[in-house]
Structure 1
């Protein structure tokens, strides 16, 4: 029998891309995402000016540590107080932190310790912001629109990646690093009034529960995942996929372009190919709204993407590599959007924050810490074996999904 996912609470069942409430959320999410990109460019630029490239890399990566340590607790906070309230509060704090960084740069020339402290604090806030941002879409529309909302979210993410770089560079050029931080704070701040007017659905009566200690609620969330025949293999598969994905598709593209002598222009083409593929599939999901046999399609898409990653390291030219990167974007974008939609739909509104925290912990908190290992392995053995190893890990996650009958037969709500 096909597994049908549990419905979630939502205030409106109209198509998400025509729902003003969803569009307000989308505007807030896009503005905040662009601000994040500008912030990371400003932080990395300031760190490079204050130390060596290796030290700068450490400063930009250190925010992953508090995310890894605190994100599970952040998921409990989201379910206790509601994703909209937590997104609003954490966005305001993130904005203030970036403003503080801008003021610090205007008043003095901060060293690496000061910049690292800003990065760590930003990571602490991210530990509650990221689960809240991931859980909020399930509360702003009907259950049948989750896939469409995930597609819209993917489009906003690609837009942020495209605009963040040029805007960050422009901010540095016109106002120095402090100006870039100020621009990032402005963009994050713009999301606040939009989020304020976003309406969320109320939890149905059968989801009401007493609040307990944080650890007790965390155990309750983990128990909810462990007892669900779809969530259990889905969360595990996503964690393994993220371990294989993050290295090659972030640091790995830069290392590949460097090893092949394609330079920064070649790296730009690879990033453009991946972004175009991911953006295209996000647009298609936004328009289509639902994919039949979502669990099976997700697993097959991830399996195809990992094969393409292994192939990417052997592409004979930058043009061929760009085409492979586009294919990876299409397949990984489809798999990622469907896994996110399946997670939200199956989790239920009362557990969305904790389940989102667990499902994204590896991607946002653990996998970025593997960058030094990926770089060291590429320097010792070359980029081909590194991409092959990451693709094998990625394939392991896809096969886990394929081997689970409940997940393989899972359907999204209509």
Structure 2
């Protein structure tokens, strides 16, 4: 497969939303994310049809294990071989695996085993795909545009969340899980030629032969030392971890239990989630258009703190209309803080380490944070929604406190 590499100076530093290279990346990323949403719906539906709800839950959770265990290695691969090659290869494997299961389901009714195998393969490839996705923007645009790219990435995620589930449902309605898997595979396939056409900047050392590079284990240790010794990245990743741990439980399991407790029903949950999506989408649009904010470290810390207060307030609103309004505020504040966290992570990391830094951040968000969901559910069963939402908000707020207390992170600025 041929590649198009250019010198870092040749990468455009013009507005990212007008750069054809960035727009090709955005199209590839959006298609892949929509495909992911369709895939997860198809997997869950097919597993429920083939087994019990408990077995379906196990199938859905299978992918989380290799993703969490192997993501550090995925970051090393992204930095050693270049994120573009890794993203193209992993997207191709994901596409092939999903289409293979679609074909199998069209031909026969094989039961749960191919679904579990697909989830395992998908999770393993995700461990490589996600760090590479995080490392790619720095090679396709100028440093001054990385903040805007984070906003564009946020918009793509919101779009995929809104469009993916209805598309998956339509596929299932028209042709069952096999059709939905086929649609997911085709959407992921759309991203491959767009990624192949990207112009990427080479970094110093990219032209070295594999035999001249340090071992993968040395790369991993070097990356962890780099993070540990960095005055901005180390506290930033801890702040991200605290924010995710305090946010994921209440806004997933906790919200459903709150709606059941208050009698809001499934439609109430939908309105609250819609409010959150509107707020988060607005924040992403603001960052994409504006390209950054002054005093980024301080603004990030303040929005984390304000967002944590809004999360705690969700448990005490009188009705679903007020809950949806608070959810808009939660989405706006957490969307801004999340975009600024991602932008600081991108701009403060040496591009040669972005794969490894992205992998550590990904483990925090995708490996540790989901563990808060069963803990939140058990705690709500024991003490009720109010206390659990408040404690979760306090954990989230600790990230903002940390950002304010660490001088280098508090004073961190984004490039103009």
Q: Same fold (TM over 0.5)?
A: yes
The CA deviation at 1:213 is: 1.7
Alpha-carbon separation, structure 2, partners of 1:16 and 1:26? 10
Gaps of 5+ in 2: 1-7
Maintained 8 Å contact 1:147/1:341: yes
Residue 409 of structure 1 corresponds to which residue in structure 2?
Answer: 411
- Describe the SS at the equivalent of 2:136: helix
Residue 334 of structure 1 corresponds to which residue in structure 2?
Answer: 336
Compare 94-103 and 124-133 and name the one that shifted more.
94-103
Q: Structure 1 residues 48 and 14, CA, compared in 2 at 3 Å: closer, same or farther?
A: same
The structure, 1 or 2, with the larger RCO (C-alpha pairs under 8 Å, 6+ apart) is 1
Maintained 8 Å contact 1:9/1:202: no
Residue 180 of structure 2 corresponds to which residue in structure 1?
Answer: 180
Residue 354 of structure 1 corresponds to which residue in structure 2?
Answer: 356
Question: Which residues in structure 2 correspond to 1:61-76 (within 5 Å)?
Answer: 61-76=61-76
Alpha-carbon separation, structure 1, partners of 2:246 and 2:238? 13
Maintained 8 Å contact 1:10/1:140: no
What is the count of residue pairs matched by the alignment? 407
- Describe the SS at the equivalent of 1:370: helix
1:89 aligns with 2:68: no
- Describe the SS at the equivalent of 1:200: strand
Question: Which residues in structure 2 correspond to 1:153-172 (within 5 Å)?
Answer: 153-172=153-172
The CA deviation at 1:206 is: 11
Question: Which residues in structure 2 correspond to 1:250-265 (within 5 Å)?
Answer: 250-265=252-267
The CA deviation at 1:13 is: 0.5
Question: Which residues in structure 2 correspond to 1:4-83 (within 5 Å)?
Answer: 11-83=11-83
Maintained 8 Å contact 1:34/1:161: yes
Q: Structure 1 residues 133 and 309, CA, compared in 2 at 3 Å: closer, same or farther?
A: same
Compare 262-271 and 321-330 and name the one that shifted more.
262-271
Residue 3 of structure 2 corresponds to which residue in structure 1?
Answer: none
Maintained 8 Å contact 1:24/1:198: yes
- Describe the SS at the equivalent of 2:294: coil
Given the two structures, how large is their TM-score scaled by the length of structure 2? 0.94
State the Cα deviation string for residues 27-49 of structure 1 (Å, max 9, x = none): 01111000000001101111221
Maintained 8 Å contact 2:259/2:265: yes
Q: Structure 1 residues 382 and 56, CA, compared in 2 at 3 Å: closer, same or farther?
A: farther
Q: Structure 1 residues 163 and 181, CA, compared in 2 at 3 Å: closer, same or farther?
A: same
Residue 135 of structure 1 corresponds to which residue in structure 2?
Answer: 135
Maintained 8 Å contact 1:67/1:126: yes
Compare 8-17 and 355-364 and name the one that shifted more.
8-17
The CA deviation at 1:121 is: 1.4
Residue 284 of structure 2 corresponds to which residue in structure 1?
Answer: 282
Alpha-carbon separation, structure 2, partners of 1:384 and 1:328? 17
The CA deviation at 1:380 is: 3.0
Alpha-carbon separation, structure 2, partners of 1:277 and 1:251? 20
**Superposed CA RMSD:** 1.8
1:116 aligns with 2:113: no
